[in-house]
Amino acid sequence: MSATVRNGVTIDDTFAEAFPMRGTALVVTASSHDWALEAARSFAGFATSVIACGCEAGVDRLLQPDETPDGRPGLRILLFAMDTKSLEKQLAVRLGQCILTSPGSACFAGLEGEAPLPLGNAIRYFADGWQVSKKFGGRHFWRLPVMDGEFLCEATTGLTKQAVGGGNLLIMGETAAKTLCAAEAARDAILTVEGCIMPFPGGIVRSGSKIGGKYKGMIASTNDAYCPVLKGATTTALSANIESVLEIVIDGLTAERVASAMRAGLEAIVALGPQSGAVRVSAGNYGGKLGPHHFHLRELLP
């Protein structure tokens, strides 16, 4: 495989292959950013991969009081799934179990989108007949009595069919510590890009996967070509000096957001250099046959 070297870091001439998804967003506010984050962490729990979780979710960005509908600290959460039905189901159960239950929370539409998705409409019956419908400024809200006051929730949020999931960077280094340092630098840079998330813990995944496996019924299994401990036992994609590989997976509301995030991550890795970070960067794909979105690393380089 051909490659380009920037600041001592080898960048494979390959591409990340990503897939169309359905996406939505919601704004959560609370008495403080800490409490908004508690609600968001609960909402996004067990939402790393549609393979087993049914959805992928995470915090897009923090919002200051002058950016939220109720003038309180908040944040925007992004939620992605493979189809509208799954997205609607995951939104409803996570809203009811994780946002409604969080002290002092309120919830609003975070996206205009192409069609509405039930938000407050999906959970209003929890109020057992005490729910109150309100329309203000052309927007529809529900007020649900709860034990610390009221839960204010907008009736719907928006759905987009332009979302993309599976943008990725494979980050390779000579030690686990250096590789993690590079991955953290990329993660921190990607966090500045609005409209995308990294759904895995801390934005980084060590258990990269390939499609299928040797055991019946396996949808995905370990990506043995990128496992350093298997270099002598499988057809490896790693050179002798690489002892650690980490991956960053990116979902975005548009393909352009995913490309911007990958570019930001790649630039951060290159700027760090191999002495403290990665010696090589690649990306995962399936030969271009499964996902219509191809993000070529060479085109993302500064």
pLDDT in tens, 16-34: 999 999 999 999 999 999 9
Q: Please report the pLDDT score of residue 1 as a whole number.
A: 78
Query: Which residues neighbour 179 within 8 Å (Cβ) at sequence distance 6 or greater?
Result: 171, 172, 173, 244, 245, 246, 277, 278
Q: Please report the pLDDT score of residue 288 as a whole number.
A: 86
Q: Please report the pLDDT score of residue 63 as a whole number.
A: 98
Q: Please report the pLDDT score of residue 290 as a whole number.
A: 82
- In sequence order, what E strands does 30-138 have? 56-63, 74-81, 106-109, 115-118, 132-136
What is the residue-wise DSSP string for 13-28? Answer: S-EEEEEEEEEEEEEE
Q: Please report the pLDDT score of residue 247 as a whole number.
A: 98
Determine contact, residues 92/107, Cβ cutoff 8 Å: no
Query: Domains in the chain, ordered, with CATH?
Result: 3-18+163-300 (3.30.70.520), 22-160 (3.30.70.520)
Cα angle 14-3-177, degrees, rounded to a multiple of 5: 85
Q: Please report the pLDDT score of residue 234 as a whole number.
A: 94
Cα–Cα distance for residue pair 117/99, rounded to 1 Å = 16
**Long-range contacts from 37-40, C-beta under 8 angstroms, 24+ separation:** 37/75, 38/102, 39/98, 39/99, 39/102, 39/105, 40/75, 40/77
Q: Please report the pLDDT score of residue 6 as a whole number.
A: 96
- pLDDT under 70: residue ranges of the chain: none
